[in-house]
């Protein structure tokens, strides 16, 4: 037989979209089969709320006053989203080690779909988690004050951040050989990022040598952005670019992360055939 008679699989944007959705569908199905993963993630975030709101909360004064819980919840939302990238990383390693990625790569599907499908899924999944957390936050006394438009803008910004973190997770996942090492990397990067930030405590309480890191930290700028958008207490320690323009700074960070990690992830994926 001659190669000329071989039908070429659809190709193009339409196939990329369809196949991306198929992969996202696959991940969504998995969520319904292992609901405990989503539940654990929500419980973990609620634990943080309880811990900080009821245990440490009383001891953390907010410069400029305001409710600590209203201050805390945006930090929890940001932290949850940042932690999610390690779930992406672990999922990627798992797919590689179980041979599923090889199966996908042996199929005449759009090359981009494995990664884009994962990113689409992360967006949908984290959106769901966020809604549950915001409802829980509302129950313990958090609220937004600056109108529906700003609420949506805050959610939009969080989701953009999810998208960027998902590429970080994809890159980490494709770089690691075992689930444990992916978890470990996630932990060692994410832990300082979330705890040396304004997510739980006002930055004024940090030692001054640590402050610049905390101020420019993307987790801080994301948290400040949503506090600002939603009219929640948003004290700052120093007047500088990230404290005055947190939304702009966060968008810049998102741009930088995508610009660095999306190409790195794609390259790792291509290099699987090396």
Partner 1 sequence: MQTETLAPPERSVSTGGKPVIVAEGLVKIYRGRKTEVRALDGLDLTVNEGSVLGLLGPNGAGKTTAVRILTTLLQADAGHATVFGLDVVKDAQRLRSLIGVSGQYAAVDEHLTGRENLILFGRLYQLTKHDAAIRAVELLEQFELTEAADRPAKTYSGGMRRRLDLASALTGRPRLLVLDEPTTGLDPRSRIGMWEAIRERVRAGATLLLTTQYLEEADELADSIAVVDHGRIIARGTADQLKSQIGGERIEVIVHRRSDLDRTRALLGGEEVSVHDHLRRITIPASGGAQRLVEVVRVLGDEGIEIDDIGLRRPTLDDVFLKLTGRATENNDESGDDAGEGKQP
Q: For binding to partner 1 (CB under 8 A), which residues are involved?
A: 1-3, 6-11, 15, 18-19, 22, 25-26, 29-30, 33-34, 98-100, 102-109, 111, 113, 272-274
Q: Select 30 or 145, whichever has its Cβ closest to partner 1.
A: 30
Smallest distance, partner 1 to C-beta of residue 68, A:
40
Smallest distance, partner 1 to C-beta of residue 92, A:
14
Q: Select 18 or 184, whichever has its Cβ closest to partner 1.
A: 18
Smallest distance, partner 1 to C-beta of residue 111, A:
8
Nearest alpha carbon to residue 98 among 30, 21, 18, 188? 30
- Would you say 228 and 246 are in contact if contact means Cβ atoms under 8 Å apart? yes
Smallest distance, partner 1 to C-beta of residue 18, A:
8
CA distance 197 to 226: 14
Rounded to a whole number of angstroms, the distance between the first and last alpha carbons of the chain is 30
Q: Select 108 or 141, whichever has its Cβ closest to partner 1.
A: 108
- Would you say 203 and 209 are in contact if contact means Cβ atoms under 8 Å apart? no
* Residue 84: count of CB within 10 angstroms of its CB: 23
Smallest distance, partner 1 to C-beta of residue 35, A:
11
Smallest distance, partner 1 to C-beta of residue 237, A:
44
Q: Select 106 or 208, whichever has its Cβ closest to partner 1.
A: 106
Q: Select 27 or 69, whichever has its Cβ closest to partner 1.
A: 27
Task: Give the angle subtended at the CA of 68 by the CAs of 166 and 227, to the nearest 5°.
Answer: 45
* Residue 48: count of CB within 10 angstroms of its CB: 19
CA distance 213 to 194: 12
Q: Select 29 or 209, whichever has its Cβ closest to partner 1.
A: 29
What are the angstrom distances between the C-alpha of 127 and each of 14, 86, 215, 231, 240?
25, 16, 26, 21, 31
């Amino acid at each position: 037989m001659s190669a000329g008679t071989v039908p070429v699989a659809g190709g193009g944007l339409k196939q990329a979209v369809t196949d991306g959705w198929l992969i996202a569908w696959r991940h969504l199905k998995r969520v319904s089969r292992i609901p405990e993963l989503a539940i654990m993630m929500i419980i973990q975030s609620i634990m943080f709320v309880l811990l900080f709101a009821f245990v440490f909360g009383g001891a953390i004064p907010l410069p400029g006053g305001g409710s600590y819980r209203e201050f805390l919840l945006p930090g929890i939302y940001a932290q949850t989203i940042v932690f999610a990238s390690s779930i992406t990383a672990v999922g990627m390693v798992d797919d590689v080690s179980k041979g599923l990625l090889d199966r996908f790569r042996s199929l005449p599907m759009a090359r981009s779909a494995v990664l884009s499908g994962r990113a689409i899924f992360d967006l949908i999944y984290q959106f769901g988690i966020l809604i549950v957390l915001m409802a829980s936050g509302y129950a313990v006394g958090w609220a937004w004050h600056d109108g529906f438009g700003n609420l949506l803008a805050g959610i939009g910004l969080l989701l953009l951040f999810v998208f960027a973190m998902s590429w970080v997770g994809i890159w980490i996942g494709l770089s690691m050989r075992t689930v444990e090492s992916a978890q470990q990397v996630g932990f060692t990067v994410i832990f300082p990022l979330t705890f040396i930030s304004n997510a739980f405590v006002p930055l004024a309480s940090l030692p001054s040598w640590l402050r610049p890191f905390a101020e420019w930290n993307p987790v801080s700028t994301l948290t400040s952005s949503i506090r600002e958008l939603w009219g929640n207490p948003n004290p700052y320690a120093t007047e500088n670019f990230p404290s005055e323009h947190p939304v702009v700074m966060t968008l810049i960070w998102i741009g930088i992360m995508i610009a660095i990690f999306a190409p790195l992830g794609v390259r790792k994926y291509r290099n699987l055939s090396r």
